[in-house]
Structure 1
Amino acid sequence: MVRFLEVPNWDPGYVNTTPQHIAIMAECTACGDRREFSMDRLPASLHYAQIKEVERRLKCSLCGAKAGKLRFGSFVPD
């Protein structure tokens, strides 16, 4: 089993400056659902966008809220 360990208070500013070894987790602040976020699924127009711009466009697939927050960290064994 693995868990996500967030890097506290870290924000790279722009999506494209996130190092390859950093995992990204999308979290819905409305319902608490968390899913791994893949940079490959971003539209080309957002590849160089600020993190805040990407977060404004996130929509939860569970509850439908537009209350997403990107968390940065890594997956570690329990």
Structure 2
Amino acid sequence: MFFPQQKEVYMFQFLIFWLIVGVIVLVSVNLYAEKTNRLWAPPGCIDDLLLVRWMLIILVWPIVIFVVALILIPEWIRKKK
């Protein structure tokens, strides 16, 4: 039987949390866009593609940082011992 370690459980919880946040944000932006007939965008954002890129950056960077930390921190602790 495979029992996940505590680190893996935290990683899965973190990824599920960000997936839920991403879905909520994207659905709310789409509902707002349908209601007002225009896409909400940060100041200076002209293009719809810029909006999509901006949303992806906000949703993806915490996941990337967390995964990199999960890989690097145990290696750093192992080398320190």
- Using the size of structure 2 for normalisation, the TM-score is 0.20
- Using the size of structure 1 for normalisation, the TM-score is 0.21
Report which of the two structures shows the higher radius of gyration computed on alpha carbons. Answer: 2
Larger RCO (CA under 8 A, 6+ residues apart): 1
